[in-house]
Amino acid sequence: MKKISILSVFVMLVSALSVQLKAQEITKKSGYTLSFESNFKELDPQLKKRLIKTFFEVYPKLAKEYNPSTIKEVKFFVDTAYKGVAATADGKVTFSSMWMVKHPEDIDVVTHEVMHIVQDYGRSVGPGWLTEGIADYARYKFGVDNAGAKWALPALKPDHSYKNSYRITAAFFAWIEKDVKPGTIKAVDASLRDHTYTKEIWTKLTGKDLDALWADYVKNSQV
Protein backbone atom coordinates (compact mmCIF):
# COMPACT_ATOMS: atom_id res chain seq x y z
CA MET A 1 0.00 0.00 0.00
CA LYS A 2 2.82 2.38 0.89
CA LYS A 3 4.53 1.87 -2.47
CA ILE A 4 1.26 2.45 -4.29
CA SER A 5 0.67 5.57 -2.25
CA ILE A 6 4.12 6.99 -3.05
CA LEU A 7 3.65 6.17 -6.72
CA SER A 8 0.27 7.85 -6.71
CA VAL A 9 1.72 10.99 -5.17
CA PHE A 10 4.51 11.01 -7.76
CA VAL A 11 2.01 10.67 -10.61
CA MET A 12 -0.07 13.47 -9.13
CA LEU A 13 2.96 15.75 -8.89
CA VAL A 14 3.99 15.03 -12.49
CA SER A 15 0.43 15.60 -13.66
CA ALA A 16 0.21 18.84 -11.73
CA LEU A 17 3.47 20.05 -13.29
CA SER A 18 2.23 19.10 -16.74
CA VAL A 19 -1.02 20.94 -16.20
CA GLN A 20 0.91 23.97 -14.94
CA LEU A 21 3.17 24.07 -17.96
CA LYS A 22 0.32 23.56 -20.42
CA ALA A 23 -2.27 25.65 -18.58
CA GLN A 24 -4.51 27.51 -20.96
CA GLU A 25 -4.71 31.26 -20.89
CA ILE A 26 -7.90 32.40 -22.56
CA THR A 27 -8.11 35.90 -23.98
CA LYS A 28 -11.24 37.31 -25.60
CA LYS A 29 -11.42 40.54 -27.55
CA SER A 30 -13.51 42.03 -30.35
CA GLY A 31 -15.41 38.80 -30.93
CA TYR A 32 -12.31 36.60 -31.14
CA THR A 33 -10.92 34.12 -28.62
CA LEU A 34 -7.30 33.03 -28.30
CA SER A 35 -6.29 30.03 -26.20
CA PHE A 36 -2.58 30.11 -25.33
CA GLU A 37 -0.67 27.05 -24.11
CA SER A 38 3.00 26.26 -23.63
CA ASN A 39 5.13 23.40 -22.33
CA PHE A 40 8.18 25.69 -22.38
CA LYS A 41 8.68 26.91 -18.83
CA GLU A 42 11.41 29.38 -19.88
CA LEU A 43 9.10 31.26 -22.24
CA ASP A 44 9.63 34.98 -21.74
CA PRO A 45 6.37 36.44 -20.32
CA GLN A 46 6.89 39.59 -22.38
CA LEU A 47 7.23 37.55 -25.57
CA LYS A 48 4.05 35.71 -24.68
CA LYS A 49 2.26 39.04 -24.32
CA ARG A 50 3.58 40.15 -27.70
CA LEU A 51 2.37 36.96 -29.38
CA ILE A 52 -1.09 37.45 -27.94
CA LYS A 53 -1.14 41.17 -28.76
CA THR A 54 -0.05 40.49 -32.34
CA PHE A 55 -2.85 37.99 -32.82
CA PHE A 56 -5.51 40.47 -31.78
CA GLU A 57 -3.94 43.19 -33.89
CA VAL A 58 -3.61 41.28 -37.15
CA TYR A 59 -6.25 38.53 -37.13
CA PRO A 60 -9.30 40.84 -37.31
CA LYS A 61 -7.64 42.78 -40.13
CA LEU A 62 -6.88 39.61 -42.08
CA ALA A 63 -10.42 38.37 -41.51
CA LYS A 64 -11.92 41.64 -42.73
CA GLU A 65 -9.69 41.75 -45.80
CA TYR A 66 -9.88 38.13 -46.91
CA ASN A 67 -12.42 35.99 -45.07
CA PRO A 68 -14.98 37.49 -42.65
CA SER A 69 -16.31 33.96 -42.03
CA THR A 70 -13.01 32.69 -40.62
CA ILE A 71 -13.16 30.89 -37.27
CA LYS A 72 -13.47 33.03 -34.16
CA GLU A 73 -11.56 30.74 -31.76
CA VAL A 74 -7.83 30.11 -32.32
CA LYS A 75 -5.22 28.18 -30.32
CA PHE A 76 -1.51 28.94 -29.86
CA PHE A 77 0.89 26.33 -28.49
CA VAL A 78 4.60 26.92 -27.87
CA ASP A 79 6.09 23.44 -28.06
CA THR A 80 9.55 22.25 -27.02
CA ALA A 81 9.19 19.13 -29.20
CA TYR A 82 8.49 20.98 -32.44
CA LYS A 83 11.65 21.47 -34.49
CA GLY A 84 10.41 23.68 -37.31
CA VAL A 85 9.51 27.36 -37.06
CA ALA A 86 5.73 27.18 -36.84
CA ALA A 87 2.91 25.13 -38.28
CA THR A 88 -0.83 25.60 -38.51
CA ALA A 89 -3.65 23.05 -38.70
CA ASP A 90 -7.29 22.96 -37.59
CA GLY A 91 -7.22 26.43 -36.08
CA LYS A 92 -4.12 25.75 -33.99
CA VAL A 93 -0.69 27.33 -34.45
CA THR A 94 2.27 25.45 -33.02
CA PHE A 95 5.40 27.52 -32.47
CA SER A 96 8.89 26.14 -31.92
CA SER A 97 10.18 27.12 -28.49
CA MET A 98 13.72 27.19 -29.86
CA TRP A 99 12.71 29.56 -32.64
CA MET A 100 11.19 31.81 -30.00
CA VAL A 101 14.47 31.80 -28.08
CA LYS A 102 16.67 32.43 -31.10
CA HIS A 103 14.36 34.89 -32.86
CA PRO A 104 12.25 36.70 -30.25
CA GLU A 105 11.98 39.65 -32.61
CA ASP A 106 10.19 37.58 -35.27
CA ILE A 107 6.73 38.41 -33.95
CA ASP A 108 5.13 38.38 -37.40
CA VAL A 109 5.51 34.65 -37.65
CA VAL A 110 2.08 35.04 -36.02
CA THR A 111 0.83 37.06 -38.99
CA HIS A 112 1.96 34.46 -41.52
CA GLU A 113 0.55 31.52 -39.57
CA VAL A 114 -2.85 32.98 -38.71
CA MET A 115 -3.22 33.97 -42.36
CA HIS A 116 -3.22 30.22 -43.04
CA ILE A 117 -6.24 29.96 -40.74
CA VAL A 118 -7.96 32.79 -42.61
CA GLN A 119 -7.11 31.15 -45.95
CA ASP A 120 -9.03 27.98 -45.00
CA TYR A 121 -8.47 26.37 -48.40
CA GLY A 122 -9.18 22.82 -47.25
CA ARG A 123 -8.42 20.48 -50.12
CA SER A 124 -7.01 23.29 -52.20
CA VAL A 125 -7.03 23.13 -55.99
CA GLY A 126 -4.05 25.48 -56.05
CA PRO A 127 -0.30 24.80 -55.77
CA GLY A 128 1.55 25.03 -52.46
CA TRP A 129 3.77 27.88 -53.60
CA LEU A 130 0.65 29.98 -54.09
CA THR A 131 -0.67 29.30 -50.58
CA GLU A 132 2.64 30.24 -48.96
CA GLY A 133 3.19 33.20 -51.24
CA ILE A 134 -0.18 34.67 -50.27
CA ALA A 135 0.57 34.11 -46.56
CA ASP A 136 3.87 35.98 -46.85
CA TYR A 137 2.20 38.70 -48.90
CA ALA A 138 -0.28 39.09 -46.02
CA ARG A 139 2.67 39.32 -43.63
CA TYR A 140 4.22 42.01 -45.82
CA LYS A 141 0.97 43.98 -45.94
CA PHE A 142 -0.28 43.53 -42.37
CA GLY A 143 2.81 42.68 -40.31
CA VAL A 144 3.25 44.72 -37.14
CA ASP A 145 7.07 44.72 -36.95
CA ASN A 146 8.69 43.15 -39.99
CA ALA A 147 11.46 45.71 -39.76
CA GLY A 148 12.26 44.68 -36.19
CA ALA A 149 12.70 41.11 -37.39
CA LYS A 150 14.82 42.31 -40.33
CA TRP A 151 12.21 40.67 -42.55
CA ALA A 152 11.68 42.18 -45.98
CA LEU A 153 10.70 41.18 -49.48
CA PRO A 154 13.81 40.17 -51.44
CA ALA A 155 15.30 41.87 -54.45
CA LEU A 156 14.86 39.86 -57.64
CA LYS A 157 17.68 37.48 -58.56
CA PRO A 158 18.26 35.60 -61.83
CA ASP A 159 17.46 32.22 -60.30
CA HIS A 160 14.13 33.37 -58.84
CA SER A 161 10.75 32.08 -60.01
CA TYR A 162 7.22 32.86 -58.96
CA LYS A 163 7.05 29.22 -57.89
CA ASN A 164 9.79 29.70 -55.27
CA SER A 165 7.09 30.45 -52.69
CA TYR A 166 7.19 32.55 -49.50
CA ARG A 167 8.91 35.94 -49.80
CA ILE A 168 9.99 35.59 -53.43
CA THR A 169 6.42 34.90 -54.51
CA ALA A 170 5.13 37.58 -52.14
CA ALA A 171 7.39 40.18 -53.77
CA PHE A 172 5.92 39.25 -57.15
CA PHE A 173 2.42 39.61 -55.73
CA ALA A 174 3.26 43.01 -54.23
CA TRP A 175 4.36 44.16 -57.68
CA ILE A 176 1.13 42.87 -59.24
CA GLU A 177 -0.90 44.76 -56.65
CA LYS A 178 1.07 47.97 -57.17
CA ASP A 179 1.78 48.02 -60.88
CA VAL A 180 -0.72 45.70 -62.57
CA LYS A 181 -4.11 45.46 -60.85
CA PRO A 182 -4.97 46.07 -57.20
CA GLY A 183 -7.20 43.40 -55.70
CA THR A 184 -5.75 40.57 -57.77
CA ILE A 185 -4.34 38.61 -54.82
CA LYS A 186 -7.55 38.99 -52.84
CA ALA A 187 -9.51 37.58 -55.79
CA VAL A 188 -7.10 34.67 -56.22
CA ASP A 189 -7.29 33.94 -52.49
CA ALA A 190 -11.11 33.83 -52.69
CA SER A 191 -10.98 31.43 -55.64
CA LEU A 192 -8.72 29.07 -53.69
CA ARG A 193 -11.13 29.11 -50.77
CA ASP A 194 -14.21 28.30 -52.87
CA HIS A 195 -12.21 25.82 -54.97
CA THR A 196 -12.77 27.53 -58.31
CA TYR A 197 -9.10 28.39 -58.86
CA THR A 198 -7.51 27.61 -62.21
CA LYS A 199 -4.38 29.15 -63.69
CA GLU A 200 -6.60 30.98 -66.17
CA ILE A 201 -7.77 33.30 -63.39
CA TRP A 202 -4.58 35.35 -63.78
CA THR A 203 -5.41 36.10 -67.41
CA LYS A 204 -9.01 36.87 -66.49
CA LEU A 205 -7.94 39.32 -63.79
CA THR A 206 -4.91 40.96 -65.39
CA GLY A 207 -5.03 40.16 -69.11
CA LYS A 208 -1.85 38.07 -68.90
CA ASP A 209 -0.94 34.60 -67.67
CA LEU A 210 1.56 33.98 -64.88
CA ASP A 211 4.55 33.50 -67.15
CA ALA A 212 3.85 36.75 -68.99
CA LEU A 213 3.31 38.58 -65.70
CA TRP A 214 6.60 37.22 -64.38
CA ALA A 215 8.39 38.32 -67.56
CA ASP A 216 7.02 41.83 -67.04
CA TYR A 217 8.07 41.73 -63.39
CA VAL A 218 11.61 40.74 -64.34
CA LYS A 219 11.76 43.49 -66.96
CA ASN A 220 10.35 46.04 -64.50
CA SER A 221 12.83 45.05 -61.78
CA GLN A 222 15.77 45.61 -64.14
CA VAL A 223 14.80 49.18 -64.92
Q: Is residue 3 part of a domain?
A: no
- 3-class DSSP assignment, residue 25: strand
Average pLDDT over residues 148-173: 97
Calpha distance 131→117 (Å, rounded): 11
Residue 169 sits in which domain range?
Answer: 123-223
pLDDT for res 98: 95
- 194, pLDDT greater than 50: yes
What confidence tens digit (pLDDT) does each residue in 114-132 have?
Answer: 999 999 999 887 999 999 9
Q: Are residues 148 and 60 in the same domain?
A: no
Q: Are residues 60 and 151 in the same domain?
A: no
pLDDT for res 22: 56
Q: Are residues 54 and 84 in the same domain?
A: yes
Q: Is 102 exposed, middle or buried (0-12, 13-18, 19+ CB in 10 A)?
A: exposed
What confidence tens digit (pLDDT) does each residue in 12-51 have?
Answer: 433 444 444 457 899 999 999 999 999 999 999 999 999 9
Domain termination site, one of 120, 139, 163 = 120
Q: Are residues 128 and 115 in the same domain?
A: no
pLDDT for res 40: 96
Q: Is residue 11 part of a domain?
A: no
Mean pLDDT, the chain, rounded, equals 91
pLDDT for res 218: 97
